[in-house]
A and B are shown apart, each in its own frame.
Chain A
């Protein structure tokens, strides 16, 4: 699929820009470019639900980043600092482990992809009669695997409470 390779190469280029540039505002905008390209890639991969969610969430993420940067500073003063040996060592160790695990997992999936995946086939074939939902993704997240969604709601609730607790009013001690 050549269009997917082009999108991924653009994402890699924008990601390198986002990580290495000195201006934090430009870094956030490059991150937004990566996110919107991910949304286009979801459309290419025939996942319209994910594309809608990714576009809106990316807009909100860029708004949050810009809100923080406008209140503070937009210059990355740590750029050009020499690397520490321990950091490079940690990166290599973690990278090798991540690559090894991903290689094993992806190879397993590629071997079993043609014959397996009976659960997904069951969801597609019998989803309408069992749940009544035309959209199979909605059937999976709200009927078959609704407990996952409950866990997600709990995590989101915890994140919001964390944000409110960290940034609450200062003069509330008395």
Chain B
């Protein structure tokens, strides 16, 4: 429960950067932070630790015949979702960076207030 709480704190740091920062690179950094935190939260949810049991990755030839398989292996479904989400996150970050580069080329600053003041 403490682990989930600390990852929520990381999500809130990213949200804070996105909303209150006035620099475009800082906003992109906030997006990346929030994305990492959400991915990590997914991986934590797919990890069903039972005391006394050892968890191994879901790469195996034959399965141990236990009643609850997820107490011996980590859950493959959140891992598969996060795997695609990481790559999408890099694409989105690159798109934000290209927009920032373009705007810097036009007005010579990363400042969002400056852009708002120019208006057209």
CA distance A12 to B92 in the complex (A): 23
Does B21 contact A78, Cβ atoms closer than 8 Å? yes
With CB as the reference atom, state the residue of chain B lying closest to A91: B19
Does A31 contact B29, Cβ atoms closer than 8 Å? yes
CA distance A81 to B112 in the complex (A): 12
Residues of B within 8 A of A167 (CB): 98, 101-102
User: In chain B between 87 and 104, which residues have their CB closer than 8 angstroms to a CB of chain A?
Assistant: 87-95, 97-102, 104
Does B88 contact A155, Cβ atoms closer than 8 Å? yes
1/0 per residue B29-52: CB within 8 Å of A? 110110011011101111111000
Q: How large is the interface on B (under 10, 10 to 19, 20 to 34, 35 or more residues)?
A: 35 or more
The dominant DSSP class at the B interface is helix
B63 CB contact (under 8 Å) in A1, A114, A125, A140? A125
Residues of A within 8 A of B93 (CB): 61, 64
Residues of B within 8 A of A123 (CB): 76-77
Does B63 contact A124, Cβ atoms closer than 8 Å? yes
A-B contacts besides A78-B113, A99-B12, A117-B70, 9 pairs, CB < 8 Å = A8-B10, A77-B110, A78-B26, A78-B112, A87-B20, A106-B45, A125-B63, A145-B80, A166-B99
Residues of A near any B CB (own CB < 8 A): 1, 4-5, 8-9, 11-12, 15-16, 18-19, 24, 27-28, 31, 34-35, 38, 41-42, 45-50, 53-54, 57, 60-61, 64-65, 68-69, 71-73, 76-79, 81, 83-84, 87-88, 90-91, 94-95, 98-99, 102, 106, 109, 113-114, 117, 119-121, 123-125, 127-128, 134-137, 139-141, 145, 148-149, 152, 155-156, 159-160, 162-163, 166-167
